[in-house]
Amino acid sequence: MNIIEILHLIHEYKEYDENETETETVRAIDDVTLSIEEGSFVTILGHNGSGKSTLAKHVNALLLPTGGTVMLCGQDTLKTEELWTLRKNAGMVFQNPDNQIIASVVEEDVAFGPENLGVPTEKLEKRVEQALERVGMTAFRMNSPNRLSGGQKQRIAIAGMLAMKPKCILMDEPTAMLDPVGRREVIQTVHELNKQEGITILLITHYMEEAVDADRVIVMDGGRLIMDGTPKEVFSRVEELKACHMTVPQVTELAYELKKEGLDLPDGILTTEEFAEALWNLH
Amino acid sequence: MIRDITIGQYYDADSVIHRLDPRVKLAFTLIYIVSLFVGHGPICYAYAAAFLAVVIVLSKVPVKFMVKGLRGMLMILIISALFNVFLVQGEVIFRWWIFTISKEGVRTAILMVVRLIFLVIGSSVMTLTTTPNDLTDGMERSLRFLKVIRVPVHEIAMMMSIALRFIPILIEEVNKIMKAQIARGADFESGGLIKKAKAMIPLLIPLFVSAFRRASDLALAMEARCYHGGDGRTKLHPLKYQAADYAAYAALLLYLGGMITMAVLLP
Amino acid sequence: MELTLKNVSFSYNPDAKEPKYAVKDVSFTIRDGEFCALIGHTGSGKSTLVQFLNGLMEPTSGEVLFNGENIFGKKYPLKTLRQKVGLVFQYPEHQLFEETILKDICFGPKNMGLPKEEQLTRARHAMELVGLPESYEEKSPFELSGGEKRRVAIAGVLAMSPECLILDEPTAGLDPAGRDDILGTVRELSDQEGIAVVLVSHSMEDVAVYAERLLVMNSGTLVYDDTPRNVFRHYKELEEIGLSAPQITYVAHALKEKGFDIDDSVMTIAEAKAEILRIFRERNS
């Protein structure tokens, strides 16, 4: 079943100069059609300004289409009056960990979403507890978010989404401001959620390594979808990726370079082990 | 570390007063202030002092923290005392050059100072024993009736709690920007007032830009978490009166009753 | 130019019985034209360390010497030092404040008390160094993209003509194209202008390509000070302190384990490619 259905989505915004007169219309999303299967882990890649973040914001109706339709769990974002009833299905984690934590105590922040949904107090307690346990932050329940590391803050933000019991979580570059340890923490957590709870994950990132374990990788450029496939399929197209300012994991690039030199390696090698194995077979 | 600073002056302790519902403590502050204006004369103030002393002992907050709030008030206390001493007319007890001091003047000055001291200490009890977050909660609940006349009580409370969360972050930000500008040769210390004020521009503009960026990020994050105003919102820890809270209300009313009786009966 | 840290330590409670150290007994010297990278996980003390280098923080013990002179000595002109040792903080675009890019970049030279003409010459030169076109001069810094803003901020420090440039994670939050742009620019500054560079980074892949010397911090102490190649030989020890080696290093080790006769100190794609091709060529001949 498809949890997200996007049909011929177009998003435009107008730019104004100092005198408030319209200068140009920018098309951030240009005719995108896409469906996401429930329970899948999808990574969206693309350089800054490729429209990937704008696309994600359409899924939970933070932005509304200029043209086309976006359906989340069968609900049309343009035809829904109270958008919050739709947003509870798709939590969103943002880039800056500090700017998405609302309360001064961890547990109260996690409760913020379900509080808005009107979940009764008796059940709130339980939801907060479970969500914190899910991300491994139970010990920090009564702490102030200010004293947590970046990775821990992002896990709190994820717990805040889980407490709303969403079907899908959108992650808008959640690791861009973290150090490698924090990045690992966050990516591991979302993979667990995907596998164990069956929550659909839409991960937007710059880091190719984070795309390797996804079920599906989508590459955007200039507001369009330019590639869509398994990580193996997408990362076989090294030249094309480079043409739109993307990199591939180092081992993939090495295999690609060797292939160019005449070594008969398979396409789209993603891991060190795979590479060593393939090279040994050639030897 | 700068992120550890506490906003307000909350003193962490486990006492009866700390555990009271913030609404009770708001009521205490209000009633205590009223009682100070109802009462007059030394007996009334001794009564008020005794009541305050009991509350302070129960709160387990060291007296020196209570008195701290007075330091900032010192100038105001001295000035109001001097005004009363010299300007109130009455039976003259001292005269020198153009200055006269009257018996009534001294009396009003003392009462005035005592009243102010009690007022400051009385409200410190609330801020010292209640976390800013509880205080915000308490105010939201107590002032809910104002919604009838369209005061956005929930929104104000939400703004206050967001401010509490972001003040430490912004202070840290000030620090960072300041260092970055010093690294570019900025000088925040030397020069006269105008030069100093001008030197603040490279600090203030980035700070505002950052505050606005954070605000817009936060608004988006709140929307994504289904925030749609105060209607239909539940709470993880809703305020609920316990037996002790009712007892405290009763004690407050008894105290106020006692004060009114004294004020009426005493000359 | 010679910038030396001599047995520096920093503690928030130096007088306590058991003081806690953010930095403990660190010594090293940075010389003209060197390209150093400083790595260590968050909280390892590297941010404190870089602030010693231009006198923004004073160590609780030890000395910081610039050309042999103690920068915390009495009457030492710290303001002049900060021009010679430029520090670009993390997310430096957050410090931009002027109406136009040119004015913002002039802020440093203006604080140095240079005449107006000289300020402009320096600012324009700095813009050129970071690859900002002349047409940007009158633009507002707030209407640029993230990567461009960052270049303006770096130009703001370069306009003071520093002899040593310290960059605290200059690529944080940028996309791959932006990352390569900034690092390429920094490399040119080092190669062509002879500026000594200290690059604080989390990316071992970048460090392997760009740096000629690698300083590794762990819980306040300097654990390695060597060429990247030599440091990455200790990839297991690096993992123990929450760091890693570039992916290529792992590839080389995996190949060696398989039985390839490969030099396992390779650390960049180009090196690995040459090495593997050599193996295959030797086998064929």
Cβ pairs A/B, distance under 8 A: 99
Residue with the larger pLDDT of the pair C88 and B195? C88
Based on the fold, state whether residues B69 and B178 are members of the same structural domain.
Answer: no
Q: Measured between beta carbons, which residues in chain A are less than 8 angstroms from residue C277?
A: 258, 261, 263
Q: Pick the range with the lowest mean pLDDT from A242-251, B81-90, C233-242.
A: B81-90
For residues B37 and B116, membership in a common domain is answered with yes
Task: Indicate the helix (H) or strand (E) that contains C226.
Answer: strand C221-226
CB-based contact (8 Å) between A89 and chain B? no
C184 in a structural domain: no
Residue of A250, A253, A263, A265 to mutate when probing chain C, most C C-beta within 10 A: A250
Q: B209-214: list long-range contacts, CB under 8 Å, 24+ apart.
A: B209/C94, B209/C97, B209/C142, B210/B170, B210/B173, B210/B177, B210/C94, B211/B170, B213/A99, B214/A96, B214/A98, B214/A99, B214/B166, B214/B169
Query: Residue A233 — very low, low, confident or very high, per pLDDT cuts 50/70/90?
Result: very high
The structural domain count of chain C equals 2
Residue B7 has pLDDT above 70, yes or no: no
Question: Do B81 and B125 fall into the same domain?
Answer: yes
Which of C232, C251, C260 is best to mutate for the A interface (most A CBs within 10 A)? C251
Asked if pLDDT for residue A200 goes beyond 90, the answer is yes
Q: Please report whether residue C63 resides in a domain.
A: yes
C chain contacts of residue A257, beta-carbon cutoff 8 Å: 269, 273
Q: Do A254 and C257 touch (CB under 8 A)?
A: no
pLDDT recorded at residue B2: 43
The phi and psi torsions of B258 (rounded to 5 degrees) equal: -60, -45
Whether residue B152 sits in one domain with residue B27:
no
Residues A103 and C162: their CA atoms lie apart, in Å, by 43
> Does residue B173 carry a pLDDT above 50?
yes
Buried b (16+ CB within 10 A) or exposed e, A54-65: bbbbbbbbbbeb
Answer yes or no: is pLDDT of B107 > 60.
yes
Cβ contact, residue pair B165, A104, below 8 Å: yes
| Structure-token pair, residue B31 | 């009633």
One-letter amino acid of B141: R
Q: Which domain holds residue C213?
A: 1-76+164-174+198-242
Q: Is the pLDDT of residue C176 over 50?
A: yes
For residues B13 and B74, membership in a common domain is answered with yes
Q: Does residue A274 have a pLDDT over 70?
A: yes
**Residue B29 falls within a domain, yes or no?**
yes
pLDDT value of position A88: 93
Percent of chain A surpassing pLDDT 90: 81
pLDDT in tens, C127-138: 999 999 999 999
Spatial separation of the C-alpha atoms in residues C174 and C180, rounded to whole Å: 9
C95 contacts B184? CB cut-off 8 A: yes
Domain residues for the domain of B172 are 146-224
CA–CA separation, C129 vs B226, rounded Å? Answer: 47
Judge if C1 and C27 occupy the same domain. Answer: yes
Q: What whole-number distance in Å separates Cα of residue A91 and Cα of residue A158?
A: 8
Q: What is the pLDDT of residue A15?
A: 81
Instruction: Name the pLDDT band for B6 (thresholds 50, 70, 90).
Output: very low
State the best of C38, C150, C217, C247 to mutate against chain A, taking most chain A CBs within 10 Å.
C247
Q: Which residues touch A27 (CB under 8 Å, ≥6 apart)?
A: A10, A11, A12, A223
* Residue C181 or residue B95, greater confidence: C181
Q: Which residues 127-146 of chain A have a CB within 8 Å of chain B?
A: 128, 145-146
C92-129 pLDDT per residue, tens: 999 999 999 999 999 999 999 999 999 999 999 999 99
Q: Inter-chain contact B165–A82, Cβ cutoff 8 Å?
A: no
Q: Note the pLDDT of residue B51.
A: 94
B191 vs A123, more confident: A123
User: Structural domain tally of chain B?
Assistant: 2
A251 part of contact set with chain C, CB < 8 Å: yes
pLDDT at B3: 45
DSSP of A52-68, one letter per residue?
Answer: HHHHHHHHTTSS--SEE
Q: Which subunits sit against A, judged by 3+ Cβ pairs under 8 A?
A: B, C
User: Which H, E and C letters describe C148-195, residue by residue?
Assistant: HHHHHHHHHHHCCCCCEEEEECCCCCCCHHHHHHHHHHHHHHHHHHCC
Are B101 and B85 contacting, i.e. CB atoms less than 8 angstroms apart? yes
B94 and B50 part of one domain:
yes
- The predicted-structure confidence for C181-194, as pLDDT tens digits, reads as follows 899 999 999 999 99
ipTM of the complex as predicted: 0.91
Looking at chain A from residue 4 to 33, which residues have their Cβ under 8 Å from any Cβ of chain C? none
pLDDT value of position B27: 93
Local confidence band at B8 (pLDDT 50, 70, 90 cut-offs): low
- Which residues are CB-neighbours of B98 under 8 A, at least 6 positions away? none
Is the pLDDT assigned to residue B71 strictly greater than 80? Answer: no
Name the residue with tokens 């310290």: C166
What is the side-by-side strand order in the sheet with C21-31?
A: C21-31, C2-11, C61-66, C69-70
pLDDT in tens, A251-270: 999 999 999 999 999 988 99
